[in-house]
Structure 1
Amino acid sequence: METKQNYEYDEISLKELIETIIKGKKTIIVITSIVLILASIYTFAIQKPVYESKTVLLASNVASKVTKENITDITSYINNLSIQNSNTLETYKQQIKSPNVFENVIKTLKLDKEKYTVDSLSNIVRVNLIKDTNLIEISAKTTSANLSEQIANATSDSFINFINNINEKKVNQSVEFLKVKIEEQDAKLKTAMSKYEQFLKDNGSITSLKNAQANLYIDQKNIKTKFDNLESNYQDDILNNEINVKKSENKLESYKSVISSVDKTLKTNESIVNNDLLRESLSENGLSLKDLSGINLVTESYNANYLALTSQENQEKIKLKSFLEEKNLIIEKYKKEKTLLKNKLDALDKEINANEVKLSELMHTNDLLNNEITNAKKTYELLLNKYDEIKITESVKAGEVNIIVNSKAYTPNHPISPNKKLNLAIAFVLGLMISVFIVFFMAMWKSDSNKVK
């Protein structure tokens, strides 16, 4: 039941709205007509047509982003001296709207400087980067079709000239910089070569010093060989001597053992009668053979074997003594020769070390001077090559190389604004809305007034 009442209430309200609009149709028509008339007068009589002309530039050698060059030495700096620098499209976009470019446009087209300024041209000219391309679109909007075309083309030409002027200055600066650096590097190269010549003059040939050092190493090796041979011979001589001493001592022990078993003297017991000499002598003294027959003569003499053995023993003792003396001589000779060789080796080591230090210092100085000359030559040649490169490319206009006109602007035949149909349509809708609002407002005003009465 409640739903039905709401439905009837809504139906009555909608009916009242429609009746209100119908009652105020004259007002709606009048107001809408007035708005349309005013819009028509503005569109056809007051508002000036706006013409847009576009030129498109093609940029080459474009960088994806601005990179900071890491210049750490003169070589890096020289290699970065180039008139063909890579710029980003955003850089070109900002340069197109620079004051220098617009001032040149005003001067080229002889525009009224009071009416056309850098700021006003900045509002007239629009620069767009066409996505995913290297194309730059320059558009100019004015109330004159011819002027729009002239400003668009003049802006592109002025921009290219602007790039050329910048790079021409860079070329001139680079040339002057290279001239100064070439002179400086030439002086450095001459100084380095003069220092090297004086170094060789003061220190002689390094090769001869190397040869002398090599000979010292040979002498050192020979002395070490002699030292090893001396040690080996000494050990052999000592061993042989000890063997001889041992043999001699063994012989002496043998002689001693044999001698101890041999009698030193021999005793003989014989009758005086058998001794002719004593018998005759005693006979002369009046003794008869009978008297002498009972007398025995005992004689004692050195044992010949004993004497022979003791003689051999003494000879062996002499040999042993000579062997012992020989050992002392061997040791003394070894010590003298060892000391002599050691002194020679120490002297050679000192001389070798001194020469090694001197040679190392000379080689280090020689390398430094050679590196200085090499680096000076390398830098000098690099400067000359870069100078020749820049002189050859001095006449090249980098702006025309990096930026070319892809399509020139043309005089537009139709304005881009005002859009008369759109203006009238908007005016019609706007007038209709205003008039309906006024009708509803007046109806509500009357309704409230009646309720008050």
Structure 2
Amino acid sequence: MSQEFGNNGPEYYDEYEIDLREYIILLWNNKLFIGAIVVLAVIAAFVISSFVLSPQYESEANIIAPNFQLLNGNVVSNEDYIAVLTGDMVMKEILDIVNQERSKDNEIKIQGLLDRLNYSMSENTDQINFKFNFNDPEKTQSILKQWINIFINRVEEFLVNENNSYYKNIENKANADYKKYQTALEKLTNFGSENNLNFLRKNLDNKESKVIKLNLNIMDLKNVLEAEKKELEYITSRLENTERYLVRKNLISDEFLQKLQAVNSQTSLINLLNTEEEFLNPEFENLINREINLSTRITSKENNLENYIEDREKLNQEISELQKKISVLSKEKIIIQDELTNSEKSYNISNEKIRSLDQALAEREFNFIVLSTPNLPEDPVSPNTKLNVAIAAVLGLMLAVFIVFFKEFMKEE
């Protein structure tokens, strides 16, 4: 298998074969240069770390912030505490403290301050660890201490405000429910004084009783009228078949006739003494009187019947209007009573809620537990002079070796 090496062939690469011994000799020959570079890097790192970079001190504190259940049922946890810790209100107060002695050009911004704060939360406990670094040990301790104090005060203030706000809402609702109850009670009282439903119902019962009596009277009167009309028809029928007048014949006796004939022999004159007399039939007269009396009674009863019917219609109309009025007023009263019942029930619920909230506030107490207050740092955490010097020495050595190799490479070219 052939191998291609380009136009110059393998001889070209032989010129650049690495001879480790030559490189070691090369580095040894330049040991003073390499040492000088390393020393310069170390000195530069030491000077910068000691005199240029400002030292940073770190203060640490630990607190326990237990979860707290508000009166409204919401639970305040570590995440909520951190939101308060880094919130605008707390940050503004801390910035005012930090920037008291600084000019506007040198003022620390919110993000710059947050970058100096480290916090961590334990998953199994309610512990929060705070670490804060600053360029002055006393200020580092003071700022972290004030930050935690402001944070605790703001959290407690937040909890109190939330509970008070919820309590106030329930209290306002209870007051509103009580006003509704008083309004409904007053409304029901005024309704009772303006509308006497019992009196209206009694009045309705009386009218209905009168209608019942009128119906009975009308029924009885109709029955009597029906009987009397039948009797009138019977009398009228008899009148039609009864003679109004009767004829009475007055005849002379035979003995008297004989005496007259003995005196006077004219028969025609004697016959004139026999007469006929027409008179009113007593039966017909009796029937007429009965007919007149019955007609009078029937007319009177019919008038009474019409009056009864008119009275009944009038009463029925009054009863209908009274029933409508009672129905409307009864519905209105039921609505008012429902309002009273509901408002009283709602007020009792709100009142009971307030009592339970009072008990909960008395039993529920929130306290941050400070496990360790911010310490006064003695040694700066940065810059780390030893680490910086070590890193500078390594980097200086690498730079010096690179320069030596680069110079050698340029000579060979």
Q: 1:307 aligns with which of 281, 287, 290?
A: 281
Comparing 316-325 with 210-219, greater Cα deviation is found at 210-219
State the distance in 2 between where 1:265 and 1:13 align. 184
State the TM-score, normalizing by the size of structure 2: 0.58
CA contact (8 A) 2:60 2:373 kept: yes
State the distance in 1 between where 2:130 and 2:9 align. 62
State the distance in 1 between where 2:58 and 2:238 align. 142
Q: Give the partner amino acid of 1:40.
A: V
Q: 1:57 aligns with which of 60, 63, 69?
A: 63
Comparing 417-426 with 154-163, greater Cα deviation is found at 417-426
CA contact (8 A) 1:35 1:428 kept: no
Q: Does 2:291 align with 1:317?
A: yes
Q: Give the partner amino acid of 1:318.
A: I
Note the 1:354-433 alignment, pairs <5 A: 402-410=367-375, 411=377, 415=381, 417-418=383-384, 420=386, 424=390, 427-428=393-394, 431-432=397-398
Query: What is the alpha-carbon root mean square deviation over aligned residues?
Result: 6.4
CA contact (8 A) 2:248 2:276 kept: yes
State the distance in 2 between where 1:429 and 1:93 align. 39
State the distance in 2 between where 1:425 and 1:7 align. 45
Give the gaps of 5 or more residues in structure 2.
162-167
Note the 1:120-135 alignment, pairs <5 A: 122=113, 125-130=116-121, 132=123, 134-135=126-127
Alpha-carbon distance change, 300 to 242 in structure 1, aligned in 2, over 3 angstroms? same
What secondary structure is seen at the aligned counterpart in 1 of 2:384? coil
Note the 1:204-219 alignment, pairs <5 A: 209=193, 212-219=196-203
CA contact (8 A) 1:35 1:431 kept: yes
Q: Give the partner amino acid of 1:91.
A: V
Using the TM superposition, give the Cα deviation of residue 280 of structure 1 relative to its aligned residue in structure 2, in angstroms.
3.0
Q: Give the partner amino acid of 1:307.
A: N
Q: 2:210 aligns with which of 223, 226, 233?
A: 226
Using the TM superposition, give the Cα deviation of residue 237 of structure 1 relative to its aligned residue in structure 2, in angstroms.
0.9
Alpha-carbon distance change, 136 to 14 in structure 1, aligned in 2, over 3 angstroms? farther
State the distance in 2 between where 1:229 and 1:27 align. 147
State the distance in 2 between where 1:98 and 1:55 align. 18
CA contact (8 A) 2:66 2:77 kept: no
2:300 aligned residue: 326
1:277 aligned residue: 256
Using the TM superposition, give the Cα deviation of residue 227 of structure 1 relative to its aligned residue in structure 2, in angstroms.
2.9
What secondary structure is seen at the aligned counterpart in 2 of 1:5? coil
1:158 aligned residue: 146
| 1:266-305 C-alpha deviation (Å, 9 max, x unpaired) | 799x9x8x73433333333247xxx89xx9x9976779xx
CA contact (8 A) 2:62 2:372 kept: yes
Note the 1:141-220 alignment, pairs <5 A: 141=133, 147=137, 150-162=138-150, 209=193, 212-220=196-204
Alpha-carbon distance change, 42 to 155 in structure 1, aligned in 2, over 3 angstroms? same
CA contact (8 A) 1:54 1:152 kept: no
Alpha-carbon distance change, 413 to 8 in structure 1, aligned in 2, over 3 angstroms? farther
Q: Does 2:85 align with 1:92?
A: yes
State the distance in 1 between where 2:290 and 2:372 align. 129
2:402 aligned residue: 436
CA contact (8 A) 1:125 1:141 kept: yes
Q: Give the partner amino acid of 1:128.
A: Y
Q: Does 2:38 align with 1:36?
A: yes
Q: Give the partner amino acid of 2:27.
A: K
What secondary structure is seen at the aligned counterpart in 1 of 2:300? helix
State the distance in 2 between where 1:56 and 1:96 align. 22
CA contact (8 A) 1:28 1:432 kept: no
State the distance in 2 between where 1:85 and 1:415 align. 31
| 1:356-405 C-alpha deviation (Å, 9 max, x unpaired) | 79x98xx89xx8xxx9xx99xx99xx8xx99xx99x99xxxx9xx55432
Alpha-carbon distance change, 425 to 433 in structure 1, aligned in 2, over 3 angstroms? same
State the distance in 2 between where 1:427 and 1:12 align. 37
| 1:55-98 C-alpha deviation (Å, 9 max, x unpaired) | 223334569xxx9xxxxxxxxxxx99xxx999631221347974
Q: Give the partner amino acid of 1:16.
A: Y
Q: 1:240 aligns with which of 219, 224, 230?
A: 224
State the distance in 2 between where 1:168 and 1:213 align. 59
How many residue pairs match? The answer is 365
1:5 aligned residue: 5
CA contact (8 A) 1:105 1:158 kept: no
Alpha-carbon distance change, 254 to 128 in structure 1, aligned in 2, over 3 angstroms? same
State the distance in 2 between where 1:421 and 1:41 align. 13
1:450 aligned residue: none
Q: 2:108 aligns with which of 113, 119, 126?
A: 119
Identity within the alignment, %: 15
CA contact (8 A) 1:59 1:134 kept: yes
Give the gaps of 5 or more residues in structure 1.
68-78, 174-180, 448-453
Using the TM superposition, give the Cα deviation of residue 40 of structure 1 relative to its aligned residue in structure 2, in angstroms.
2.9
Alpha-carbon distance change, 278 to 314 in structure 1, aligned in 2, over 3 angstroms? farther
Using the TM superposition, give the Cα deviation of residue 440 of structure 1 relative to its aligned residue in structure 2, in angstroms.
3.6
State the distance in 1 between where 2:57 and 2:155 align. 34
What secondary structure is seen at the aligned counterpart in 2 of 1:128? strand
| 1:21-79 C-alpha deviation (Å, 9 max, x unpaired) | 7275357755543343233334556524765342223334569xxx9xxxxxxxxxxx9
State the TM-score, normalizing by the size of structure 1: 0.54
Alpha-carbon distance change, 228 to 316 in structure 1, aligned in 2, over 3 angstroms? same
Alpha-carbon distance change, 404 to 286 in structure 1, aligned in 2, over 3 angstroms? same
| 1:102-139 C-alpha deviation (Å, 9 max, x unpaired) | 776899xxxx989xx97399489424243757544332
Alpha-carbon distance change, 444 to 96 in structure 1, aligned in 2, over 3 angstroms? farther
1:139 aligned residue: 131
State the distance in 2 between where 1:31 and 1:239 align. 152
State the distance in 2 between where 1:123 and 1:85 align. 21
2:164 aligned residue: none
